[in-house]
Structure 1
Amino acid sequence: MVVGDVTTGTDVLVIGAGPAGYVAAIRAGQLDLDVTLVEKDAYGGTCLNYGCIPSKALITATDIAHDARNAEQMGIHADPAIDLSGMVSWKDDVVDQLTGGVEKLCKANGVNLMEGTATFTDENTVRISHDGDGQGSETLEFEHAIVATGSSPIEIPNFSYGDEPVLNSRQALSLDSVPDSLVVVGAGYIGMELASVFAKLGTDVTVIEMLDEMLPGYDDDLKRPVKQHATDLGIEFEFGYTAAEWSEREDGSGIRVVADPVDGADVAADGGAAAGEAEAEGEGEEPASLDLDAEKVLVAVGRRPVSDTLDLDAAGVDIDDNGFIETDSRARTSVDHIYAVGDVAGEPMLAHKGSMEGQVAAEVIAGEPSAIDYQAMPAVVFTDPEIATVGMTETDAADAGFDTAVGKFPFQASGRALTTGESDGFVKIVAEENEGYVLGASIVGPEASELVAELGLAIELGATLEDVASTVHTHPTLSESVMEAAENALGHAIHTLNR
C-alpha cells in the first residue's frame, strides 16, 4: 500500500546532512528558525561516513603500525600483525559515535530530521521520496532552502565501481583484507593518502597519473618530501599515463590494468620503468602502453557535484558547465531564497569550507550581516609527511602586487621534531614586507594539519610577523617552528640561519 501524499511546511529546508548541511541546520535552529533537514543516506554525509573521518582513522592506525615497525633507531624492535577487518571495525565504531552525535545535536537544536530524497517541483516546494516499499512520498513547502548535497567520486570509462576489483575511495576504506597489489589511478590528495595507507599495510602500490606530477596545485618544495617518503614506502609512480581498461588474468591471479600514454606527456621525466624503456627505444618514438598486474584498482581522479538528482531547473536555479551550483558571497543561488553550500557549490571541496558556508547561509536567512571569506581557508593533505597551506603563496602575493618578506624554518632544526623521529619538512611564512602583515603560510612535516591553524588565525586577525614572533611558544614543541619562521622573516631567527 502506498502512503498518500502529505504536504507540510518549514521556514528553512536543508537538503543533505553532511558537514555543510548539518552545520547549516544547527545554526539555523540556534537562530530560532523552523528547520527541516532531509538526508537520503546517513547523517554526517560522505565526509563523516565514507571520507574524511574513516580515511584519517586508517591513516592513524597504519601510521602506528608503520612507526613501530621502523623504530629501530629508537631502540624499539617490533613487527606488528595487521588485522584489517579489526582495523575497519574500529574505524566504523568511530564513525558510528560521530554520526550518532550529529543526530543528537540536530535534535537538541530543534531541527526536524527527515529521511528521503528531495526533488524540487518549483521554487518553493520539494517532493521528498522515502525509500522502501510502501513508504511513498510527501510534499514540503519552504520559505528558504539550502542545498548541501555534496559530491560523489568521478567514474572513468571502463572502470565501473560495480565491478568487484574496481574500487572508489569509499569501497577501499571498507576492505576486509589487505590486497597484495594495488593500482591507484590519480595522484591527487585522495589517491596519495590511500596509496600511503595500503603501502604501509604491505601492499605493492603503483600510482598512475595523467599529469607529470603528484598533488597538482601544491608547490614543488612541499611535494618533494612527500614523494620521497612515498618512494621509500615502495610506491611506484607512472606519470603521463591514463588508465584505459582492465581485464582478469586468464590464470585467475588477479587483474591486468592497461594505461595509455597521454598525448604530449613527458613520461620519461620522472624515471618510471616503462617510461625509461620507451625512451631507450629511440628518441621521438611514441611511448608504449603500460601493462600492470594488480589484485585491485582504486580510481581516485576527483569528485563531481551531486546536483543532477535535484531537478534544479524546476526551481530556476543555475548551474555551471560542470554541474556546480553558482552562488554569491552570501551563498545565494540565482534564486534569492535558495542557497547552496559545500561541495555542490564549487571548489575548493573541503569539509570545513562547507561548514563555514553553511553557517553563513543560515545567518543570512536569519537577517544577519554574514558573508563568505575565503582569505584564511586552510587546505591539508594527510600524506606522510602532511602538507598544509593557508592564505597566499609567494607567487600569489607577488601576482597581487605585494612586496614580500618570507621566513622559513626546517623541522631538522626543531628539537621536538627530532624527538618524534619525524624531522623532514619546514614551516614557511609569507608576509607583506613593509608592515609585516601575514599573508600566507605553507607547511610540510609532522602535524602540519594542526600547526596551520595558528597561521590561519594570524591572517584572519591581521596579525604581523612581529605578533607571531613575540608570542611565547612552549618548548619543546613543534609550534615553536611557526615562531622561528616568523623570526626568520624578520631576520633574527635563533635556531636557523637567517635568510
Structure 2
Amino acid sequence: MVVGDVTTGTEVLVIGAGPGGYVAAIRAAQHGLDTTLVEKEAYGGTCLNHGCIPSKAYITAADVAHDAGNAEHMGIHADPAVDLMGMREWKDGVVSQLTGGVEKLCKANGVNLVEGTASFKDESSVRVAHGGEGQGSETLEFEHCIVATGSRPLQIPNFDFGDEPVLSSRDALSLETVPDRLLVVGAGYIGMELSTVFAKLDCEVTVVEMLDDALPGYEDDVARVVKKRAEGLGVEFNFGEAASGWQETGDSEAQGASGNRTQSGDGIVVTTETEDGEESEYDADKVLVAVGRQPVTDTLDLENAGLETNENGFLETDERAETDVDGIYAVGDVAGEPMLAHKGSKEGIVAAEVIAGEPAALDYQAIPAAVFTDPEIGTVGMTEAEAEEAGFEPAVGKFPFNASGRALTTGDSEGFVRIVADDGTGFVLGAQIVGPEASELVAEVTLAIEMGATLEDLAATIHTHPTLSEAVMEAAENAMGEAIHTLNR
C-alpha cells in the first residue's frame, strides 16, 4: 500500500544533513525555531561518511604501517602486515560513531528528522519522497529554507563510476583489498592524499594530470615539498596528459561510459592524450578518478522555486547566505568554492542566525584550508603575491622545519612555515605551512588574522619548547628581522 501525500509545516526547513546542514539545523533549533532536517542517505553527509573522516582514518592507518616499517634510522626494525578489511572495519567504526552522534545531537536539540529526497514544489514548499516501496511522499511547507545538498565526485568522459575498475574517491575508501597497481587521474588535493595512502600500503601508484604540476592553486615551493615526498614513496607523475579511455588487458575495444564490462582479472590499460594528440598507455588494476567535485542540485527542481545556478552549477548567495529568492538560503559545497566542510558549517550558522533575526554575516578573510598529504599543507589568508596585488607592502618571514628541534625528534623535518604580514602595520595577512601537523599549526595564524593580531603579537607570545608551534613564532620573528634560530631575510 502506498502512503498518501500529507502536508505539514515548519519554520525552518534544511535540505541535507552534511556539515553545513546539520549545523544550521541545530543552531536554528537552539534559537527556538521549529526546524526540520531532511536527509536522503546518511547523517553527516559526504564529509563524515565518504570523505573527510574516512580518508583521514586511512591516512592515519597508512602512516602507522609505513612509519613502523621505515624506522630503521631510529633503531626500530619492523615488518608490519596490512589487513585492509581490518582497516576498513576500524574506519567504519569511527564513521558510525560520528554519524550516530550527529543524529543524537539533532534530536537532543529538538530538530525534526525526516528521511527522504526533497524537491521544490514552489518557493515555500517541498515534496519529500521517502525511500522504499510503498513509502510514499509528503509535502513540507516552510517559512525559510536552507539548501545544503553538498557535492559529488566529478566524472570524466569514458570513465563511468559504474564500471568495476573505475573508482571514485568514495569507492577507493571502500576497497576490500589493496590493488597491485593504481592509476590516479588528477593531482589535486584528493588525488594526492589518496595516492599517498595507497603508496604507503605498497601499491604501485601512477598519477596522470592534465596540468603542468601537482596541487594546482598552491605555491610552487609548497607543492614541491609534497610532490618530492610522494616520489620518494614511489609515486610516478605524468603531467600534461588527460585520461581519454580504458580497456581490459587484451581487449581491442576501449571501455567507455557505454561499456560496463566486468574486469577479466588481468588488469586494464588506461590511455592518455596530450594537447598535441600524443597518446600514452599505462597498465593498472584500478583507475581512481579524482578530478574534483560538482554541486548536487539535480534532485531539487530548483526552477519550481525560482532558483537558478550560475555557470559553474552553484547557488550564489550574499553575505547572509541568502539566495536571490527571499527566504531561501544555500550553504556548503552547493553554495560555491571553497568546498570545505568548516566553511559550510560557518555558513550554516550564519544562515540560521539570520533567520533568527541575529545580525550575522559571512566574513571569508580567514578561512583555513588543509591538505592531508605527507607532509601536510595548511594555508590561510593571502600569499605574498596576493598581498602585493591587494595593495599591501608585504613583510614575509619563513622558518624551516629542519631547524626545529621538535620536528627533528619526530623524524619529519621537511617543509616550512611562512608568514605574510603588512610591513607598515605588522598586521598578519596570511600563512603557508607545509610540514608536520600543518593542519593544526595553521589555526594559530587563522586566529591572528581573525583578531587583527600583528607579527609582534605572534613573536611575543611564549610558545612551549620543544614544539612544532615554535615554528610559527620563529617565522614571525624572521619577518621582523629578529630571528634567533634561522638567518634573517
Offset of residue 253 of structure 1: 1.4
In the alignment, is residue 445 of structure 1 matched against residue 435 of structure 2? Answer: yes
Aligned residue in 1 for 2:476: 486
Q: Distance in 1 between matches of 2:30 and 2:181?
A: 50
Q: Distance in 1 between matches of 2:84 and 2:426?
A: 49
In the alignment, is residue 119 of structure 1 matched against residue 119 of structure 2? Answer: yes
In the alignment, is residue 144 of structure 1 matched against residue 144 of structure 2? Answer: yes
In the alignment, is residue 258 of structure 1 matched against residue 302 of structure 2? Answer: no
Aligned residue in 2 for 1:470: 460
Aligned residue in 2 for 1:62: 62
In the alignment, is residue 293 of structure 1 matched against residue 306 of structure 2? Answer: no
Offset of residue 306 of structure 1: 0.2
Counterpart of 1:410, as a letter, is: P
In the alignment, is residue 303 of structure 1 matched against residue 293 of structure 2? Answer: yes
Offset of residue 318 of structure 1: 2.3
Contact 1:318 1:333 in 2 (8 A): no
Counterpart of 1:344, as a letter, is: V
Secondary structure of the corresponding residue to residue 324 of structure 2: coil
Contact 1:408 1:489 in 2 (8 A): yes
Q: Distance in 1 between matches of 2:307 and 2:447?
A: 35
User: Which digits, 9 at most, give the CA deviation of each residue in 1:228-260, with x for residues without a partner?
Assistant: 100001100110111111111128410010111
Q: Distance in 1 between matches of 2:29 and 2:76?
A: 52
Contact 1:308 1:323 in 2 (8 A): no
Offset of residue 428 of structure 1: 0.3
Offset of residue 34 of structure 1: 0.5
Offset of residue 326 of structure 1: 1.0
Offset of residue 358 of structure 1: 0.3
In the alignment, is residue 102 of structure 1 matched against residue 92 of structure 2? Answer: no
Q: Distance in 2 between matches of 1:388 and 1:290?
A: 34
Matched pairs, number: 476
2:322 to 332, 338, 341: 332
Offset of residue 218 of structure 1: 0.2
User: Which digits, 9 at most, give the CA deviation of each residue in 1:410-435, with x for residues without a partner?
Assistant: 00000000000000000000000011
Counterpart of 2:145, as a letter, is: A
**1:203-282 superposed matches below 5 A:** 203-250=203-250, 252-263=265-276
Counterpart of 2:115, as a letter, is: E
Q: Distance in 1 between matches of 2:480 and 2:428?
A: 12
**1:377-396 superposed matches below 5 A:** 377-396=367-386
Contact 1:378 1:389 in 2 (8 A): yes
Q: TM-score, normalised by structure 1?
A: 0.95
Aligned residue in 1 for 2:33: 33
Q: Distance in 1 between matches of 2:313 and 2:298?
A: 8
Secondary structure of the corresponding residue to residue 375 of structure 1: helix
Q: Distance in 2 between matches of 1:56 and 1:215?
A: 18
Counterpart of 2:379, as a letter, is: T
Q: Distance in 2 between matches of 1:198 and 1:421?
A: 21
Counterpart of 2:334, as a letter, is: V
Q: Distance in 2 between matches of 1:423 and 1:224?
A: 15
In the alignment, is residue 436 of structure 1 matched against residue 426 of structure 2? Answer: yes
In the alignment, is residue 419 of structure 1 matched against residue 404 of structure 2? Answer: no
User: Which digits, 9 at most, give the CA deviation of each residue in 1:350-403, with x for residues without a partner?
Assistant: 000000000000000001010111100001111000011000000110000001
Q: State the Cα RMSD in Å.
A: 0.8
In the alignment, is residue 402 of structure 1 matched against residue 392 of structure 2? Answer: yes
Q: Distance in 2 between matches of 1:224 and 1:190?
A: 16
Aligned residue in 1 for 2:258: none
Q: Distance in 1 between matches of 2:275 and 2:115?
A: 44
Secondary structure of the corresponding residue to residue 304 of structure 1: strand
Q: Distance in 2 between matches of 1:493 and 1:38?
A: 54
User: Which digits, 9 at most, give the CA deviation of each residue in 1:138-193, with x for residues without a partner?
Assistant: 00000000000000011111111111100000000000101000000000000000
Q: Distance in 2 between matches of 1:468 and 1:29?
A: 38
Q: Distance in 2 between matches of 1:197 and 1:404?
A: 37
Structure 1: tracts of 5 or more residues without a match: 264-285
Secondary structure of the corresponding residue to residue 365 of structure 2: coil
1:356 to 346, 355, 365: 346
Q: Distance in 1 between matches of 2:265 and 2:273?
A: 24
Secondary structure of the corresponding residue to residue 207 of structure 2: strand
In the alignment, is residue 368 of structure 1 matched against residue 358 of structure 2? Answer: yes
Aligned residue in 2 for 1:269: none
User: Which digits, 9 at most, give the CA deviation of each residue in 1:27-71, with x for residues without a partner?
Assistant: 101111110000000000000000000000000000011111111
Secondary structure of the corresponding residue to residue 91 of structure 1: helix
